[in-house]
Amino acid sequence: MRRLLRILFLSDLEINKAYPLRMALFYWITVLLFIGAAYYTLSLKFPGSKLALSVVETLFIYAAVISIFFFIFVLAYTFTASRDYKVLEEYAKSLARGELDSRIKLSPVADKDIVEIYKALDRLRRSLILSQELLKRKEKKAC
């Protein structure tokens, strides 16, 4: 079940691929549900009429055109947001290597969760610096 959910939600893809694909799937599922509901409603209201099919075709064309702009917007956002994920990952790795002087700059549109993780890592960095200073003082006193 877990594997199926990971496949369904595209969890094994990199964020810059998974996010736009998720948004496109969500968009098209929503559009198709609304177009299906419109077709069903019009078919009930005007049985045997070609009006329902004509309206649905027009709605589908508009949805396709809008989806192009939507997808471009999502791609632009994703490349910006995925950079924040990569920068944060590199920051964590640099801290793990003991590079306590490293700093990063997140994009202005960084998600709140990313900013909170960054703040937590920065608190950890400051705590490690303080611990190093206290250890150095303790070693000097011991000498």
User: Taking a C-beta distance cutoff of 8 angstroms, is the pair 70, 27 a contact?
Assistant: yes
The confidence score (pLDDT) of residue 21 equals 85
Q: Environment class of residue 135 by beta-carbon count within 10 Å: exposed (0-12), middle (13-18) or buried (19+)?
A: exposed
pLDDT of residue 94: 95
The pLDDT value given to residue 141: 86
Full pLDDT tens readout for the chain, 143 residues: 889 989 888 888 888 788 888 888 889 999 999 999 988 888 888 888 888 888 889 999 999 999 899 888 888 888 888 889 899 999 999 999 999 998 999 988 888 999 999 999 999 999 999 999 999 998 888 87
Residue 5: which residues within 8 A CB-CB, separation 6 or more? 11
Q: What does the pLDDT read at residue 22?
A: 87
Structural domains in the chain (count): 1
Q: What is the pLDDT of residue 99?
A: 93
State residue 78's pLDDT score: 82
pLDDT of residue 18: 84
16: domain range?
A: 2-142
